[in-house]
Amino acid sequence: MLFRMYVRWVERKGYGIKVLQYEPGEVAGIKAVTMHISGPYAYGSSFAACQVYPYIEEDLDVEIDEKDLRIETFRASGPGGQYVNVTDSAVRVTHIPTGMLVSIETRGATS
């Protein structure tokens, strides 16, 4: 519903829209969609229950000093198969100066 609302809003505003990524829902609907909305002040006007990122045309060279990172790994807990508590199942990286945090975890068996 949000996707349709955005598309119609973009059309009424005369903005351009390009779907960059579309992932259908597992049962119905849309699980995720990434779109590029272009036009005057489009970034400042696009708000809803979604994530909005600015488009950056230039390649940026970003250097992060490893001493500014706190890296934490986690293992699965509770009952499970033979590999529980043996392999790391989650990683969290914190950039200490800014407090920016990135995390990822795996769920279920992998092969």
pLDDT tens for each residue of 18-31: 999 998 888 888 88
- 3-class secondary structure for 81-110? CCCCCCCEEEEEEEECCCCEEEEEECCCCC
The mean pLDDT value of the chain amounts to 80
Q: For 1-19, what is each residue's pLDDT tens digit?
A: 888 988 999 999 999 999 9
How far CA 111 is from CA of 83, 106, 108, in Å, comes to 12, 12, 10
Evaluate whether 4 touches 18 at the Cβ level (below 8 Å): no
CA 104/CA 68 separation, integer angstroms: 19
Instruction: Give the integer Cα–Cα distance in Å for 61 and 47.
Output: 29
pTM for this model (two decimals): 0.41
Domains and CATH numbers, the chain: 2-45 (no CATH), 66-105 (3.30.160.20)
